[in-house]
Amino acid sequence: MAWTAGDFWATTFNALHQGMIYVDAGGRIQVANPLAAAILGLAGRDLKDRRLTEVFPETRLAEVFTNHSPLLGTCFTSGAKNYRVDYFPDDEGGVVVLFTENQPDAAQLQALNELYAALLDDFPLYLAVADRQGIIVSINQMYAELLGWRADALTGRKIGEVLTFSRLPEVLATARPVVGFEARYASKKLLLSEMPVKDAAGNLLGAVSKAVAVDDLAAAGMKDITRRLQVLESKVLFYQQELASMQGDQDAWQGILGISPAMVQLKKLAARVARGEANVLITGESGTGKELLAQAIHRASSRRNEPLIKINCAAIPENLLEAELFGYEEGAFTGAARGGRPGKFELADGGTIFLDEIGDLPLSMQPKLLRVLQERAFERVGGRRTTKVDVRIIAATNQDLLALEAAGKFRRDLYYRLAVVNLTIPPLRERPEDIEVLTAAIIRRLNSRYGMDVRGLAPAVQELFYRYPWPGNVRELENVLEHAFNFLEPGEEIIRREHLPAAMQQARGNGAGLELKEAVAEAEKAAIQRALAAANGNKQEAARLLGIHPSGLYQKLKRYDIE
């Protein structure tokens, strides 16, 4: 008997030190080796005949089916490990999915090196970065010249051989910072601060040595240096926080889940927008994921190595908002910190500002924001010095800004400065195809948090989820599932109706809204059956006739129980 592709891969997978899965043309798993199951948090489970989107919601399989070409270098995080995911379609319509573990320490430390280097090239600061073995992986040219070497000649050497006055070996041994100590070298008096660098799990990646020469401070003017150091230290804090979520060349879009045509198109548009510099206005109902989309655009942009600074315009009192955005000088108001503080725009220089709930920006602040957008300049509260900044603005709102403008609550000129590009996230009720993918991803995340092994939804709950209008969108879906987790008995693996919030348990059959949905569902089912008949049962051709992605058709076939 002739071998199928699945037979071939079954004999191959267990001999390799990689997670591998083979899915058929319908997106169902035919073979999965034990390592792949473990990577997906399903160690010991038989994955055969389960949909890949069910066990791996972040998959990019739909793109591979659509483009009929390999997709290489995407990323996936499971537990504390990062994996490269590659897709290889075969001649039988199936796809091999390969998981290869990355080495995050080197990637994250290299990212930190690049962030520091970009920030400090024009700053009178001596900088060196060592890995956790005490080997220099980066040193700026200023430090190298002090030592009488070229920077590239010092990388790869032990820190103790090069910086004999450094206390980095102590920092690496204790994982604790040593700050504010003095040392002398080549007739210069240096003030040093040396700090450990850790990942999100608290594991030591390496350490950073920063030094300034006291004479340099005096020559540059102490007041100006102090101001620049404030911005520097605040930026470094943001960079180190960002390292917790950086995974080498992480795919910026992996957190934007959805296989519906609307979401696929939105991601394509957002990816194009990310390559440019235009300001972006993201609109959509509350809970649709506007902040996630803003993060993805930033991480896919040329500004990815600079900070993304977030501010909620509705959460900060009007009398504090100007200082929060633009900073303040010492003595600007009662209680102002000594030396003043930089604002969000100053910290975001070179990066991106995310202004959430922009519709709630007070009318008094709108001309000041408009000036920054037009002139790329501002003054701190209580200050006279103009600060130039290079920032990209991404704003978000669930309100109609033009309606606010008509009511005299929002400036039209500001609207057009913000909405150079307008991206709208559709509500969940308009893309029911995405509910299964989102539910699977949320359940897996909750399984990890609660230490449980929930497999999915009971059929009645799944049907209810498809019929429910989700006024709170994805955020409401997350809340409903977390509520259910808290009412599951030990050992229960399926979420049933009695586990849902009381209000949702009563949602079935509540009037004309659901009757209309039933009518739409019947019409959709009939259309799918007609397309299958016209295509002689060929699902790829039926999907083309319907104008939807093949993966979306498979979801609908399962929902309507169409053979």
Domain ranges of the chain: 5-102, 106-221+231-243, 261-424, 429-560
Q: 246-258: b or e for each residue (b if 16 or more CB lie within 10 Å)?
A: bbeebbbbbbbbb
DSSP 51: B
pLDDT at 110: 56
Q: CATH number of the domain at 261-424, please? A: 3.40.50.300
pLDDT at 121: 47
CATH topology of 106-221+231-243 equal to that of 261-424?
no
| CA–CA gap between residue 360 and residue 348 (Å, rounded) | 21
| CA–CA gap between residue 292 and residue 295 (Å, rounded) | 5
Nearest to 100 by CA among 121, 128, 81, 123: 81
pLDDT at 2: 45
pLDDT by residue, tens only, the chain of 563 residues: 344 545 444 444 444 457 888 898 888 998 888 888 888 888 888 888 898 988 888 888 887 887 777 777 777 877 767 788 888 887 677 888 888 876 545 555 555 555 455 444 445 678 888 888 899 988 888 888 888 888 888 888 999 888 989 999 999 988 888 877 888 888 888 888 888 877 655 678 888 888 888 776 555 544 454 555 555 555 555 554 554 444 433 456 777 888 888 998 999 999 999 999 999 999 999 999 999 999 999 988 988 878 888 999 988 888 888 888 998 888 777 777 777 788 889 888 889 999 999 999 999 999 999 999 999 899 998 888 888 999 999 999 999 999 999 999 999 999 999 999 999 999 999 999 899 889 998 998 898 888 888 988 998 898 899 889 999 999 999 999 999 999 998 888 899 999 999 888 776 544 444 445 566 677 778 778 888 888 888 888 888 777 777 777 887 887 777 87
Per-residue HEC secondary structure of 121-178 comes to CCCCCEEEEEECCCEEEEECHHHHHHHCCCHHHHCCCEHHHHCCCCCHHHHHHHCCCE
pLDDT in tens, 273-286: 999 999 999 999 99
DSSP 429: G
- pTM flag (> 0.85): no
pLDDT at 95: 86
Q: 32 forms bridges with which residues in the sheet? A: 21
Nearest to 373 by CA among 394, 401, 359, 402: 394
Are 143 and 185 in contact by the 8 Å Cβ rule? The answer is no
pLDDT at 12: 43
pLDDT at 85: 86
- Is the domain covering 106-221+231-243 a CATH 3.10.580.10 domain? no
Tokens for 483, please give them: 């509520």
pLDDT at 117: 52
Instruction: Pick 429-560's CATH classification: 3.40.50.720, 1.10.3720.10, 3.40.50.1440, 1.10.8.60.
Output: 1.10.8.60
Q: CATH number of the domain at 5-102, please? A: 3.30.450.20
Tokens for 198, please give them: 């850790």
pLDDT at 72: 73
pLDDT at 390: 92
Encoded amino acid at 298, one letter? H
pLDDT at 1: 39
